[in-house]
Structure 1
Amino acid sequence: MRKTRPERRQGAAVVRGDLVSDSTYDQRLLDRRGPADWLHMDPWRVMRIQAEFVEGFGQLAELPQAVTVFGSARTPAGSPEYEMGIELGKRLSEAGYAVITGGGPGCMEAANKGAAESGGVSVGLGIELPFEQSMNEYVDLGIEFRYFFVRKTMFVKYSCGFITLPGGFGTLDELFEALTLVQTGKVTSFPVVLMGTEFWGDLIGWIRNTLARTGKISARDADLIHVTDDVDEAVRIIVEADRTRADRTRDGRRSP
């Protein structure tokens, strides 16, 4: 039996064995230690970064209206959170939305599964990691990225809202980046929904009772977050925000 070799995805490529580097493209881009080689290498990295943007834009430009679903890769199949993800993907698909996830296992797989099994468009935007995480089998369109910031741009550009299932650091990173974009007006009519009142309760309490109370954010900033246990309510929030955005666009076109 052949010995299992290490494997890593690098953008569109898969490398195995001795070709697997001990660092990722993001690590090498952000690490400023060592000799000044980066002075000569970074201008060339710009071309690779540009290529990733072009590839992402090209692949996703024809997507129907889409919603991004975030959540933990560690959520086990069959758990309540996994089943919620399946139902969420299904409901979004039935409402006419493509479902975008990070393409990995856990909650991401669940949302992709719900969309795929209900006949919807199921998208996965993967990322090169120090440890291997394969694209789940329910993804219809999968794109691999080297750089987190390129991938994050795709999540926002091709979504009309984010729904976040319980998750860890990666999920929190994506959640607060979305909230910052909404708070600063970089994206408009862009709902952010958290699924799981018990899981998110302490975080919401801290946002309201510490951040808002001490003036780190305004009271209305806390209202940017919708929290629910009801999948139908989550989808309804997305649909209503979508209608509001469409009405504003239509009214703007009618203005002299």
Structure 2
Amino acid sequence: MKGVTPQDPKQPAGRRGGQQAGPITRSGRSRLATTTDQRLLDSRGPNDWVHTDPWRVLRIQAEFVEGFGALAELGSAISVFGSARTRPDHPMYTTAQQVGKALVEAGYAVITGGGPGIMEAANRGASEADGVSVGLGIELPFESSLNEWVNLGINFRYFFARKTMFVKYSQGFVVMPGGFGTFDELFEALTLAQTSKVTNFPVVLFGTEYWQGLLDWLSGQVLDGGYIVPADLDRLVITDDVEHAVATMRAGAADVPSRGEQLLAEAEDRES
């Protein structure tokens, strides 16, 4: 895409600063060569993992406790995903700002990964609209700190803890042009919806030119091959219109039963 350039790991986009390792910031000689996730998943080396991995559970538990505690009273929120490499002079950056602003005006908090690019733009739109602008950061070797437009930020060491927060505290996803990280969040949401782990969870693909090829492939080779069913494709809404994206989020939220309705249904099930 025009205006999007590869990111140099030595010169990360966004704010320059130290390496973020959960709540800890490291710079200079204290920077680590590997990330916490990498050390957890690396199976090579001596068998000391037998002794160290159980202790990691406490750190993992702490990340869930911190995330649940910080976001418990967030209210209705929508997550916006997209490339960290999108520059401020790119049209999609401006559009992401508009999405963030429109979501706040519709009564939602905005959640992003807290980084630069599309994430920064959505946080900026939400913050400038006096809304709650959430950043869920992750320890990476080439990005540092949350963007300056986040007014509620949490830094995670583990991807899986962070991804749980996106799904648990969002009523839907707006997915803008991005790379592997964006695809990961998109397909995880679709998988959770397909398997009924989440229900009434709208997913908007923003940017017809960017996403149409993916939809053509899904509706062609994937659907024709019997790997998905037509209802799986119905979960996706593709648009270039900010108002349409927000309206899709509202429509999805309207279909979600209240907690009172859920309790009543559970009681009726027990009685029957």
Distance (whole Å) between structure 1 residues aligned to residue 204 and residue 154 of structure 2: 25
1:142 aligns with 2:169: no
TM superposition shift of 1:140: 0.4
* 1:70 aligned partner: 81
2:34 maps to amino acid? S
Structure 2 matches for 1:126-165, cutoff 5 A? Answer: 126-165=137-176
Gaps of at least 5 residues in structure 1 are none
Match of 2:196 among 158, 170, 185: 185
Distance (whole Å) between structure 2 residues aligned to residue 130 and residue 55 of structure 1: 22
User: With structure 1 as the length reference, what TM-score do the two structures score?
Assistant: 0.94
Moved more, 155-164 or 11-20: 11-20
Deviation beyond 4 Å, 4+ runs, structure 1: none
TM superposition shift of 1:252: 6.9
1:197 maps to amino acid? T
Q: CA RMSD in A?
A: 1.7
Distance (whole Å) between structure 2 residues aligned to residue 136 and residue 105 of structure 1: 6
Cα deviations by residue, 1:23-82 (Å, 9 ceiling, x for unpaired) = 100000000011101111100000000000000000000102000000000001031110
TM superposition shift of 1:251: 7.8
* 2:9 aligned partner: none
Structure 2 matches for 1:1-256, cutoff 5 A? Answer: 7-246=18-257, 250=261, 253=264, 256=268
Distance (whole Å) between structure 1 residues aligned to residue 257 and residue 124 of structure 2: 29
3-state secondary structure, aligned to 1:166: coil
2:210 maps to amino acid? F
TM superposition shift of 1:250: 3.5
Distance (whole Å) between structure 2 residues aligned to residue 105 and residue 196 of structure 1: 19
Gaps of at least 5 residues in structure 2 are 1-15
Partners of 2:93 and 2:121 within 8 A in 1: yes
Cα deviations by residue, 1:100-159 (Å, 9 ceiling, x for unpaired) = 000011000110011111111100000000113331111000100000000000000000
Cα deviations by residue, 1:134-192 (Å, 9 ceiling, x for unpaired) = 31111000100000000000000000000001000100011100110011000000001
Partners of 1:6 and 1:17 within 8 A in 2: no
3-state secondary structure, aligned to 2:140: coil
1:126 maps to amino acid? G
Partners of 2:109 and 2:133 within 8 A in 1: yes
Distance (whole Å) between structure 2 residues aligned to residue 18 and residue 6 of structure 1: 13
TM superposition shift of 1:19: 1.9
Percent identity over the alignment is: 59
Distance (whole Å) between structure 1 residues aligned to residue 154 and residue 138 of structure 2: 8
1:138/1:6 CA distance change after superposition, 3 Å: closer
Paired residues in the alignment total: 252
